[in-house]
């Protein structure tokens, strides 16, 4: 279980905009526009008066796992993926809707609209149910070619297109806002509002990774590896997603559940060190390969490249000679190995990727940046702006208002903080280690489901919950 309070998030949006306007000493008429980035795969259910019937069910919620397995057994499963670009997984709103129908039929029957957190915010601002193509293309319900709700997906979900929001291009401009909310934000109600896109595709834009052969990597709580392509691309093995950025810009990639949150778990549960800087310092005392210690980081199940909600984490190869420094180094490398598996899939689909532009919280660590460069055997470029999705939204806003002539212009707007070249000795070690890591993952996949069921039998079906901290909400 992973839920959030939509009204709390709405309040944070209003507060954040007010703080930005105040901090920059802007007069309301000076503000060019508001442009929005938002997380993918959330689901909120509202009635015919727009009142909440559920909280916001986030991407991390795995309660629909059994229904994902049932949908995967349908004959049209592969067709669904090819048409929508979204793998069948509990993260998907399509799967969540099927789960709701069967597990909470009374809620399902009262539902007028199935929406995301972004649609909830826009409904409050404009009293309209609208969704951008980018968020829509991450629902499992949206056709990548027609840019309309997909008929086959609607049939599987047993809903009508009238129960979903009106799809709009990511450059669509809405106005006016409700005057009381505009006043609360410190802006005028006629300020143009660019609907924007999802945080994944905007991260590519904000990192300046939209040219051919340039990939983007972000690691925050979760993470992803992505590349921009001129046409929709899907994978015969259904290992990656595809979603819309804007006209002639599509983003193909793989999102993973287990990024920086694994370091948080390591710090908090194993009480190894008090802060992340200390974790990195002790990891740096151990050479590449962690003396043969492997870590599979699947503490929250996994999306790409496994798409297995029941995946489980493990240390493998422990000996009495391994220290806490080896544990930390193995965790850092295990997260990077998993990202590298996604990267390898992308290379098979779109061709050679020469450079990766990387952002997110991990970019603050020179050690982790070098580990990524060595495992990927790629140059890693670190832009000077780490908050890439918000910057991408701002750039898309300028483009929507015709204040820049192309999205490629973004590459000239983003400076560089650092570059990391792969170190040959480390590359040689990791090229020996990575195949072993992959073979272990492949061997464990049957056992993952058995272990997950055993855990449910032994400890009950206790949900895990991921909610934003007060501090993160205060930061907007």
Tell which CATH architecture fits domain 202-467.
2-Layer Sandwich (3.30)
Are 125 and 181 in contact by the 8 Å Cβ rule? The answer is yes
Distances (CA, A) of 204 to 139, 269, 396, 407, 471: 20, 33, 11, 11, 26
Which pLDDT belongs to residue 26?
Answer: 84
Which pLDDT belongs to residue 461?
Answer: 57
User: Between β-strands 166-168 and 130-132, what pairing exists: parallel, antiparallel or unpaired?
Assistant: parallel
Q: Which residues pair with 295 in a beta bridge?
A: 315
Location of structure tokens 């997909």: 150
- Could you tell me which of 57, 58, 2, 59 has the C-alpha nearest to residue 303? 59
Same fold, 3-191 and 202-467: yes
Which pLDDT belongs to residue 155?
Answer: 97
Q: Which residues contact 24 (CB under 8 A, 6 or more apart)?
A: none
Helix axes 65-72, 77-84, angle to 10 degrees: 100
Classify 224 in phi/psi space as left (phi over 0), alpha (psi -120 to 50) or beta. Answer: beta
For 278-295, b/e burial (b = at least 16 CB within 10 A) is ebbebbbebebbbbebbb
CB atoms within 10 A of CB 236: 10
3-state helix, strand, coil in the chain (%, to 5): 45, 20, 35
d(CA 37, CA 390): 6
d(CA 19, CA 237): 45
d(CA 157, CA 174): 29
Domain 3-191 top-level CATH class? alpha beta
Are 470 and 9 in contact by the 8 Å Cβ rule? The answer is no
Question: Kind and range of the H or E element at 450?
Answer: helix 424-459
Sketch the domain layout of the chain as residue ranges.
3-191, 202-467
Question: Kind and range of the H or E element at 382?
Answer: strand 379-383
Walking along the chain (476 residues) 10 residues at a time, the average pLDDT comes out as 96 97 90 96 96 95 93 92 95 97 96 98 98 98 97 97 98 97 97 97 94 91 93 94 94 93 90 84 96 96 89 96 96 97 95 91 89 96 88 96 91 88 98 97 88 85 48 42
Residue 413: Cβ-neighbour burial (10 angstroms; 0-12, 13-18, 19+): middle
Q: Which residues contact 277 (CB under 8 A, 6 or more apart)?
A: none
Question: Kind and range of the H or E element at 122?
Answer: helix 117-126
d(CA 316, CA 276): 23
Supply the DSSP symbol for 67: H
Which pLDDT belongs to residue 464?
Answer: 46
Supply the DSSP symbol for 108: H
Question: Kind and range of the H or E element at 369?
Answer: helix 366-376
Supply the DSSP symbol for 196: E
- pTM (2 decimals)? 0.89
First vs last C-alpha separation in the chain:
23
Residue 196: Cβ-neighbour burial (10 angstroms; 0-12, 13-18, 19+): buried
Residue 243: Cβ-neighbour burial (10 angstroms; 0-12, 13-18, 19+): buried
Which pLDDT belongs to residue 457?
Answer: 87
d(CA 262, CA 368): 14
């Amino acid at each position: 279980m992973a839920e959030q309070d939509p009204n709390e998030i709405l309040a944070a949006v209003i507060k954040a905009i007010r703080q930005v306007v105040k901090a920059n000493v802007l007069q309301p008429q000076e503000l060019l526009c508001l442009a929005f980035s938002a997380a993918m795969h959330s689901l909120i259910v509202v009635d015919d008066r727009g009142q909440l019937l559920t909280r916001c069910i986030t991407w991390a919620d795995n309660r629909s796992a059994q229904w994902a397995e049932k949908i995967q057994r349908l004959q049209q499963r592969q067709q669904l993926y090819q048409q929508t670009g979204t793998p069948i997984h509990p993260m998907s709103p399509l799967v969540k809707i099927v789960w709701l129908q069967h597990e909470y039929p009374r809620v399902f029957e009262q539902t007028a609209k199935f929406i995301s957190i972004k649609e909830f915010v826009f409904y409050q601002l404009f009293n309209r149910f609208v969704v951008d193509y980018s968020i829509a293309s991450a629902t499992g319900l949206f056709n990548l070619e027609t840019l309309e709700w997909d008929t086959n997906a609607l049939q599987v979900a047993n809903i009508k297109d009238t129960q979903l929001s009106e799809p709009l291009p990511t450059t669509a401009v809405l106005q006016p806002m409700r005057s009381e909310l505009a006043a609360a934000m410190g802006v005028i109600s006629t300020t143009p509002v660019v609907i924007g896109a999802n945080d994944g595709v905007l991260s590519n834009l904000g990192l300046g990774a939209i040219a051919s052969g340039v990939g983007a990597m972000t690691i925050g709580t979760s993470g992803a590896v992505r590349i921009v392509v001129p046409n929709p691309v899907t994978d015969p093995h259904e290992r990656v997603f595809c979603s819309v950025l804007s006209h002639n810009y599509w983003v193909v990639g793989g999102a993973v559940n287990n990024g920086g949150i694994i370091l948080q778990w390591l710090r908090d549960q194993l009480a190894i060190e008090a802060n992340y800087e200390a974790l990195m310092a002790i990891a740096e005392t151990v050479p590449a390969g962690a003396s043969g210690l492997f870590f599979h980081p699947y503490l929250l199940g996994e999306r790409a490249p496994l798409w297995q909600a029941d995946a489980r984490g493990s240390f493998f190869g422990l000996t009495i000679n391994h220290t806490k420094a080896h544990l930390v180094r193995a965790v850092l490398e295990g997260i990077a190995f998993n990202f590298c598996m996604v990267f390898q899939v992308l290379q098979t689909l779109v061709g050679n990727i020469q450079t990766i532009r990387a952002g997110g919280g991990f970019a603050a660590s020179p050690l982790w940046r070098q580990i990524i460069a060595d495992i990927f055997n790629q140059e890693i470029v670190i832009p000077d702006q780490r908050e890439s999705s918000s910057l991408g939204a701002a750039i898309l806003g300028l483009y929507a208002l015709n204040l820049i002539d192309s999205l490629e212009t973004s590459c000239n707007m983003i400076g560089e903080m650092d570059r990391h070249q792969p170190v040959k000795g480390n590359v040689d070690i990791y090229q020996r280690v990575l195949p072993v890591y992959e073979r272990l993952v492949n061997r464990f996949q049957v056992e993952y489901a058995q272990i997950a069921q055993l855990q449910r039998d032994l400890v009950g079906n206790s949900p895990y919950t991921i909610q934003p901290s007060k501090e993160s909400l205060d930061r907007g």
